[in-house]
Structure 1
Amino acid sequence: MKTGKSSAGDTKARILDATEKLFTEVGYEATSLRQVTSRAIVNLAAVNYHFRSKDIMMHAVLSRRLDPLNARRLALLDACEARWPGHAIRCEHVMGALFVPALQMARDPAVGGPSFLRLLGRVYSDTSPFIQQYLLEHYAPVYGRFFDAFARAIPALPRHELGWRLQFALKALAGVLAGEELASLLPAFTQGRQMSDAHVLAQLTAMVEAVLNVAQPGADQLSALQSVFELGEEQQHAGQHSEQRASSPANDPDASVAATAATMDEAASHAAAALGKARTSARIVRNAGTKRAAVTSVPVRGREHTVSFPSNPLDDWMRMRTRT
């Protein structure tokens, strides 16, 4: 029968194991307390009792795996530097000190197990602020030691150039380790042959070394890439012009219908204005004839000289518009 103490220890271990698996699968941001409780088969009160928050829980998950790993790495690097002092150390020695402890822990279920490499890859490739801050606080001294060792192994490479190349190479390697396709990549990598850990690590080290020692791009490489950029800009401009032509009224059926309707409305307005002018002119002529008839019937001595002003068609049209 289990005691209360052992039961509490089992609960805490189940929570850590569940959190580690979820983090490896989906990353820090997507790992939720609800998922952890479901995976660990515990209630939220148990999680709060042991860890109080997600960050504290995740810190415990990382520390129980990475603290022993870093201790092993530094101890092995010390041994390598003692065996190959100064510039006698090679890039392979430094890479071995970095990855041999990880491979050893991946072989030992008590301290990591087969999923340990994927956990390690997830830690290196996760972009969440919490993980980045954890690495900054816990890995800075370790990274500094290994950076100095790489600098001695490749003395011809400037330190600033070595820095970004190391970041690129190790991040790329971490992304491969974190991927779900790792199980299928390794058989393809070994091509069905039985390969020792040293052989596998030698293959990986060769690729990292190629990145660290690759020559700076020459004039021909820069010119070739610049030509591709220029070609891409030409295609982009051509695509923009095509989109503009496609969206113009001449190519838009709705716009064409709207333009036709506007033209018809304008023509109707002109026709109405012309008809109004014609009606106004006819009315003026009739009024003028009536006035002449009235003047004719008045005795001669009663006539008065009247002054007539020509009609303004614009005024007549405006009056007609007011009435209608």
Structure 2
Amino acid sequence: MAVRTTGRHAGDTKSRILDAAETLFIDCGYEAMSLRQITSRAEVNLAAVNYHFGSKESLIHSMLSRRLDRLNQERLKLLDRFDALLGERLTCEHVLGAMFIPALRLSRDPRVGGKAFLRLLGRAYTDPSAFIRDFLNAHYESVAVRFFSAFQRALPHLPREELGWRLHFAIGALSGVLAGSDTDSLLSEFSQGKSMDDLQLIARLASLMVAALKAPLPDSSQLATFAAVLGDAADGNADGLDGPAACAQQGAPAAQEQEQQEQQPEQTQPHAQAHPQRHEGANGTALSQAASNGTAQAPRSIDGDPADDPTRGAGIETASATFQHLLHGTA
């Protein structure tokens, strides 16, 4: 007759199942993990999973909620605090700080997952499963709406669609890094063995994301340049050429076209403007409209000043100063 040890009461069993599911989710993703793997790792039988959770789907919901619920509560609390302190002076750095600071704080707490917390966060937002995506969209919709609204206030020059794309790209790239198993080793390599505290890490991360979010909308000439690149690539593939061969063959016509444009600028102008419309995809509609309506802005620095501002280039030092205030709870 098996004897149940005192450490294996119901609460301990439930925690071990959740811990096992979390580890497997981080390492394998939702689709690749099975209940058999979870029960084996947790050293429980299938009946225990059914008793505590009822199904794999319910188990994964509980596993994500026990970490992400607290994270998002802390995020909203910090964003509300910044809102109360700053009002209309809320900056992009403050909104990013409200997103990242709670995550870093929780990753330093072994009671809520420790270093694995960031990997869980990265996996959750990069997992291709529709089940995971639907859960996050439904369960944390109000949080996403709240932060998107804050970003809109901090970046009023960006059309809603453009802001959505930029956040999607930036957060997706960040999540991919967090989901990797070599993040710690990369940090050590990039810092050349020197210690990097939360302030330095957030400053570097935010300086990159702020620059991406505040980048000016592309104007018609930039769109024409990229359209020409796409057109050249398409022509090269059609001719069965790629790499240097394609460049060499296309070099002469390109030079001739440039010479003709210099000689007849009035006649070639309509041709340059036609490129964006010819190669534009559905996702570029808002950008072309902004360019054609004359709403594209001049390059701006992190503080909103023109790109030729002599104070531009403070870089990590400026971001560090900003996040020094955020980490110590000041506006």
TM-score (norm 2): 0.68
- Structure 2 residue 129 is matched with structure 1 residue 128: yes
The 8 Å contact of residues 92 and 202 in structure 1, kept in 2 or not, is answered as no
Aligned to 1:117: 118
Between the aligned partners of 1:72 and 1:2, the Cα distance in structure 2 is 38
Aligned to 1:70: 72
| Aligned amino acid, residue 145 of structure 1 | R
Aligned to 1:145: 146
| Aligned amino acid, residue 23 of structure 1 | F
| Aligned amino acid, residue 52 of structure 2 | H
| Range that drifts further, 144-153 or 231-240 | 231-240
The one of 14, 17, 24 equivalent to 2:16 is 14
Compared with structure 1, are the counterparts of its residues 188 and 4 closer, same or farther at alpha carbon in structure 2 (3 Å cutoff)? closer
Between the aligned partners of 1:2 and 1:74, the Cα distance in structure 2 is 43
Between the aligned partners of 2:81 and 2:190, the Cα distance in structure 1 is 30
Between the aligned partners of 2:230 and 2:112, the Cα distance in structure 1 is 50
Q: How far did residue 166 of structure 1 move? A: 1.0
| Aligned amino acid, residue 78 of structure 2 | L
**Which has the larger helix fraction?**
1
The one of 11, 14, 38 equivalent to 1:36 is 38
- Structure 2 residue 172 is matched with structure 1 residue 171: yes
Between the aligned partners of 2:84 and 2:191, the Cα distance in structure 1 is 32
Compared with structure 1, are the counterparts of its residues 191 and 158 closer, same or farther at alpha carbon in structure 2 (3 Å cutoff)? farther
CA RMSD of aligned residues (A): 2.0
Between the aligned partners of 1:189 and 1:101, the Cα distance in structure 2 is 24
Moved over 6 A (4+): 1-5
Q: How far did residue 6 of structure 1 move? A: 5.3
| Aligned amino acid, residue 108 of structure 2 | R
Aligned to 2:306: none
The 8 Å contact of residues 106 and 116 in structure 1, kept in 2 or not, is answered as yes
Between the aligned partners of 2:227 and 2:208, the Cα distance in structure 1 is 27
Structure label with greater radius of gyration? 1
| Aligned amino acid, residue 138 of structure 2 | E
5 Å-filtered alignment, 1:244-283, equals none
- Structure 2 residue 102 is matched with structure 1 residue 101: yes
Aligned to 1:273: none
Q: How far did residue 231 of structure 1 move? A: 2.8
| Aligned amino acid, residue 204 of structure 1 | L
Deviations 1:135-193 (A, max 9, x none): 11121101111111112222222222212211111111111111122122212343433
The answer for unaligned runs of 5 or more in structure 1 is 241-324
Q: How far did residue 2 of structure 1 move? A: 7.3
Where 1:85 maps in the other structure, the secondary structure is: helix
The one of 12, 25, 28 equivalent to 1:26 is 28
The 8 Å contact of residues 69 and 102 in structure 1, kept in 2 or not, is answered as yes
| Aligned amino acid, residue 185 of structure 2 | S
| Range that drifts further, 44-53 or 54-63 | 44-53
TM-score (norm 1): 0.69
| Aligned amino acid, residue 226 of structure 2 | L
Between the aligned partners of 1:73 and 1:2, the Cα distance in structure 2 is 41
| Range that drifts further, 150-159 or 226-235 | 226-235
Between the aligned partners of 2:159 and 2:222, the Cα distance in structure 1 is 21
Aligned to 1:253: none
Between the aligned partners of 1:158 and 1:129, the Cα distance in structure 2 is 28
Larger RCO (CA under 8 A, 6+ residues apart): 2
